[in-house]
Amino acid sequence: MKKRINLCMCLLAIATCIVTFVATLTISYQAALARMETETMRQAALVAAGLEHIDALDSDEQKAYMQAIGKSDRSRVTLIEPDGTVIYDSNYDHSQMENHLERQEVQEATNNGTGEASRTSATLGQQTYYVAKLLDNGQILRVSNTTDLVTDDLQRAIAPLLLIIIVVIAFSIWLATYLTNRLVRPINTLKLDNPLENDIYEEISPLLHKIHTQNEELQKQMDKMRHQKVELEAITSNMSEGMVILDKELRILSVNQAAIRLLGAAFQDFAGQSLIALNRDQVLNRRASEAIKGRKTEHRMENQNDRQLQIFCNPVRGDNQVRGCVLLIVDISEKYAAEKSRREFTANVSHELKTPLTSISGYAEMISNGMAQPKDVAGFAEKIHTEAGRLLVLVDDIIKLSQLDEKAPMTVQFEKVDLKKLLESVSLQMKDYAEKKQVKIHVKAEDVIASGVPRMLEEAVQNLCSNAIKYNHVGGNVWLRDTKHGDIVYLEVEDDGIGIAKDDSEHIFERFYRADKSHSKNIEGTGLGLSIVKHIAELHGGSVGVQSYEGKGSVFTMSLPQNASTVDE
Ligand code: ADP
C-alpha cells in the first residue's frame, strides 16, 4: 500500500510539473507572438509617420532614412510602389525581388489603408508576420517580423524553466515519500491485539471496532477449541487403544501415545507428518486411503513386539464430504492367543478322545460279531473298561479346564485356606495310590494361611502330587511343603522320580503335552493335569514353575500372593 501511495503521489507531482511546463511554454509563446504582432504594427505606424514626414525629401534621403531604420532594428522594412514594384528592402536586394502587388497585406493596404498577413515568407522561407500601410504618396510600407524572434526568446527561457521543473519534481518526490511514510506509519504500528487502544484516523475507527469484535469472537473460539483439545487429549492419552486422526492427504492431525507405542514408532511430534512416518505397513496405508474415499476398512497386523493389532479405519465426514479418517488400533493379542489355543484345544481334544474310542469300538465290534473267542471276551471287556476309564478321566479333565477357562479372576470368591491342613488332606487322599506305587509321601508343612479357593488349591496340589507319584520309581519319595516369604506363599511338591528333560520342561504346562512319549505309553495320563494347575495358579494371581533334573527328580512350586483378596476386589 505504501509503495502504491508513494508511486501515485510521485506520478501526480511529475504529471503536474510537466503540464505546468507545457502550459507555461504555450502561454508564453502565445503572449510573445501577440507582443511581436503589436510591436510590428507599432513599428509600421512609426516608420510610416516618419516617411510621410520626410516625403518632401528626395528619394536618396528617403533611402538613407530607410536604411538607417533597417539597421537600427531587427524588423524587416520594405517599400513598395503602387504597382507592386519593390523599391527598397532592408534585408534583401530589392532589384532581385518579384512584384508584391498580389501579396495579401499589400492588397489589404491598397484597399483599406492597412493590411496584415501571417505566412511563410517566399523570400526567407520562415513563418513571418507582415503589416502593410498605404502612404499618402500611394507607396506601401511593409514591416515584418519572423516568429524566430518569439521562439528565440522562448528557447532562452526553456533551460531555467527545465531546471526549476526538475527541482520541483525532486522536491515533490521527497515530499511524497515523506508524506506517505507519515500517513502509513500509524497504520503499520497499529496494535491489532487491542484495536481500541489505537489513536488513529477516525476513518479507520469502524475497521478497528470490527477487528475488536472479531478478536473477541476469535478468542472465544480459540478458548473453546483449546478446551476441546485438552479434553480430547485427556481422553485419548488414557486410552489403551491407539487413535490416529488423519486429514485427506493422510497427514497426521493427532495421534495418542498408545498408537505410537502399538505401531512401534519412536515417540516424537508426528503432527503434520505422513502416516508412513508412523508405520510403513503398505496395507495399512492402503486401507487408510480407502477410508479417505469413504469406505470403512479393517486391517490386522503384527507389530515389532509380536503383538496382534486390529486396526479400524473409519472415514470422517463433514458437509457431506470426507474430511479425513480415524484409525482405531486395538491390541487383540490376548483374544488372538485365546482363539488360537481354543482352536488347538478343540483339535487336540478330538484327537485324544478318538484314541480310546477307537479301541473301545474295535473290541466291542469283535465281541458283537462273534470274532472274539469266548475265552478272550473277558479280556476284551476289561480293555473296554480300562479305555472307558481313561475316557472318563480325560472328559473329567476337559470339563475342569473348560470350567476354569470360563472363570475370570475377578469373579472368583476367595477365602482363607490353611495350607498345612490342605497338604495333609491331599497326602491322605493319595495314600492308597502311593502305596500301590510303593512311593512314600512326606508332609513338611508350616502353619501358612493363604487366600484362595480351597477346592481349587487342593485340586492343583492333588495333580502335582499324583504326578510326583506317577513319574517316580519304586521306593521313591514325595515331599509336600508350604512356606511363606513376604507377601508370597509357596506350595512345593518335590519328588526324587524320573525328572524331566530340559527341552520338555518348557512345554509341560501346555495342554495335552506329555514329556516323554515312551512314558506316556506306559504311564497313563491326559496331558492336562499341569495345565489345570497353571490355570488355578493364574486364577489366584500367582504362577507355577518347575525345577527338574532328568533321573534325579523334580520340584514344582506354586507361588501365590498371600493377600489374594485384592484379586477378589
Ligand atoms: P499327564 O496326565 O500326562 O500327567 P500332566 O499335564 O500332568 O499330564 O503332565 C504333563 C507331562 O509332564 C507328563 O506327561 C510328564 O511327562 C511330565 N511330568 C509331570 N509331572 C512330572 C513329574 N513329577 N516328574 C516327571 N515328569 C513329570
Ligand 1 neighbour 462 (Cβ under 6 A): no
Asked if 463 and 529 count as a contact pair (C-beta separation under 8 A), the reply is yes
Average pLDDT for residues 178-201, to the nearest whole number? 81
- Would you state the pLDDT for residue 33? 85
Q: Which residues of 98-134 are buried (b: 16+ CB within 10 A; e: fewer)?
A: eebeebebbbbbbeeebbbbeeeeebeeeebbbbbbb
Q: What's the 520 CA to ligand 1 centre distance in angstroms?
A: 9
Ligand 1 neighbour 495 (Cβ under 6 A): yes
Higher pLDDT, 540 or 125: 540
Q: Of 115-124, 133-142, 258-267, which range is least confident?
A: 115-124
pLDDT at 100 over 60: yes
Higher pLDDT, 486 or 92: 486
Q: What's the 320 CA to ligand 1 centre distance in angstroms?
A: 64
Average pLDDT for residues 488-508, to the nearest whole number? 93
Closest Cα to atom 4, ligand 1: which residue? 525
Q: What's the 499 CA to ligand 1 centre distance in angstroms?
A: 9
- Whether this model's pTM surpasses 0.95: no
Q: What's the 444 CA to ligand 1 centre distance in angstroms?
A: 23
Which residues make up the CATH 3.30.450.20 domain(s) of the chain? 2-153, 239-331
Ligand 1 neighbour 394 (Cβ under 6 A): no
Ligand 1 neighbour 533 (Cβ under 6 A): no
Average pLDDT for residues 237-256, to the nearest whole number? 91
Residues 6+ apart with CB under 8 A from 127: 118, 119, 120, 121, 146, 147
Q: Is 519 helix (H, G, I), strand (E, B) or coil?
A: helix
pLDDT at 193 over 60: yes
Confidence of residue 497 (pLDDT cuts 50, 70, 90): very high
Q: Of the candidates 35, 33, 69, 64, which has an alpha carbon nearest to the alpha carbon of residue 49?
A: 69
Average pLDDT for residues 77-91, to the nearest whole number? 89
- Would you state the pLDDT for residue 238? 87
- Would you state the pLDDT for residue 520? 46
Q: What's the 508 CA to ligand 1 centre distance in angstroms?
A: 7
Mutate to test the pocket of ligand 1, among 477, 508, 512, 556 (most ligand atoms within 8 A of CB): 508
Q: What are phi and psi of 4, to 5 degrees?
A: -65, -45
Q: Which residues pair with 141 in a beta bridge?
A: 79, 133
Taking the CA atoms of residue 34, residue 40, residue 41 and residue 42 in that order, the dihedral angle to the nearest 10 degrees is 110
| Helix 148-188 × helix 2-53 angle, to 10° | 160
300-316 tens-digit pLDDT: 999 888 899 999 999 99
Ligand 1 neighbour 144 (Cβ under 6 A): no
- Would you state the pLDDT for residue 318? 87
Strands 76-80 and 140-146: what pairing? antiparallel
Q: Of 85-99, 141-155, 411-425, 483-497, which range is least confident?
A: 141-155
Which residues make up the CATH 3.30.565.10 domain(s) of the chain? 412-561
Long-range contacts of 238-245 (CB under 8 A, 24+ apart): 240/331, 241/328, 241/329, 241/330, 241/331, 242/327, 242/328, 242/329, 242/330, 243/326, 243/327, 243/328, 243/329, 244/275, 244/278, 244/326, 244/327, 244/329, 245/316, 245/324, 245/325, 245/326, 245/327
Asked if 467 and 506 count as a contact pair (C-beta separation under 8 A), the reply is no
Average pLDDT for residues 264-273, to the nearest whole number? 90
Between CA 92 and CA 76 the distance in angstroms is 9
Residues 6+ apart with CB under 8 A from 125: none
Asked if 10 and 173 count as a contact pair (C-beta separation under 8 A), the reply is yes
366-421 tens-digit pLDDT: 999 988 888 889 999 999 999 899 889 889 888 888 888 777 666 778 899 999 99
Ligand 1 neighbour 509 (Cβ under 6 A): no
Confidence of residue 198 (pLDDT cuts 50, 70, 90): confident
Long-range contacts of 64-68 (CB under 8 A, 24+ apart): 66/90
Closest Cα to atom 16, ligand 1: which residue? 515
Ligand 1 neighbour 500 (Cβ under 6 A): yes
- Would you state the pLDDT for residue 521? 53
Ligand 1 neighbour 471 (Cβ under 6 A): yes
- Would you state the pLDDT for residue 58? 65
Residues 6+ apart with CB under 8 A from 316: 245, 322, 323, 324, 325, 326
- Where does residue 371 rank: exposed (0-12), middle (13-18), buried (19+ CB within 10 A)? exposed
Between CA 130 and CA 104 the distance in angstroms is 9
**Which ligand 1 atom sits closest to the C-alpha of 532?**
6
pLDDT at 519 over 60: no
For residue 495, what are the CA distances in angstroms to 174, 199, 334, 544? 110, 97, 35, 16
* Residue 249: count of CB within 10 angstroms of its CB: 9
Amino acid letter, residue 321: Q
Ligand 1 neighbour 528 (Cβ under 6 A): yes
**Number of continuous H segments (helices) and E segments (strands) in the chain:** 16, 17
Q: Of 144-158, 220-234, 269-283, 506-520, which range is least confident?
A: 506-520
- Would you state the pLDDT for residue 217? 93
Closest Cα to atom 13, ligand 1: which residue? 514
Cα angle 402-540-423, degrees, rounded to a multiple of 5:
95
- Would you state the pLDDT for residue 4? 85
pLDDT at 244 over 70: yes
Between CA 56 and CA 183 the distance in angstroms is 81
Torsion sign across C-alpha atoms 20, 21, 23, 29: positive
Domain covering 335-405 assigned CATH 1.10.579.10 in the classification:
no
The share of the chain scoring above pLDDT 70, in percent, equals 96
- Would you state the pLDDT for residue 466? 96
Assigned CATH class of 2-153? alpha beta
Between CA 409 and CA 305 the distance in angstroms is 26
How many whole angstroms from its chain centre is CA 269? 12
Confidence of residue 562 (pLDDT cuts 50, 70, 90): confident
Which residues make up the CATH 1.10.287.130 domain(s) of the chain? 335-405
Q: Of the candidates 412, 337, 351, 339, which has an alpha carbon nearest to the alpha carbon of residue 566?
A: 412
Confidence of residue 456 (pLDDT cuts 50, 70, 90): very high
E strand spans, 377-448: 415-418, 440-444
Between CA 115 and CA 102 the distance in angstroms is 12
Q: Which residues pair with 480 in a beta bridge?
A: 443, 493
Q: Of the candidates 454, 512, 448, which has an alpha carbon nearest to the alpha carbon of residue 480?
A: 448
Higher pLDDT, 276 or 2: 276
Domain covering 239-331 assigned CATH 3.30.450.20 in the classification:
yes
Mutate to test the pocket of ligand 1, among 390, 441, 467 (most ligand atoms within 8 A of CB): 467
Radius of gyration of the CA atoms of the chain, in A: 63
Q: What is the mean pLDDT of the chain?
A: 88
Mutate to test the pocket of ligand 1, among 465, 530, 532 (most ligand atoms within 8 A of CB): 530
Confidence of residue 516 (pLDDT cuts 50, 70, 90): low
Q: What's the 530 CA to ligand 1 centre distance in angstroms?
A: 7
Q: What are phi and psi of 88, to 5 degrees?
A: -155, 140
Between CA 175 and CA 183 the distance in angstroms is 12
| CATH placement of domain 412-561 | 3.30.565.10
pLDDT at 57 over 60: no
For residue 173, what are the CA distances in angstroms to 2, 12, 269? 14, 10, 53
DSSP secondary structure string for all residues of 203-267:
GGHHHHHHHHHHHHHHHHHHHHHHHHHHHHHHHHHT-SSEEEEEETTSBEEEE-HHHHHHTTPPS
**Which ligand 1 atom sits closest to the C-alpha of 556?**
23
- Would you state the pLDDT for residue 416? 93
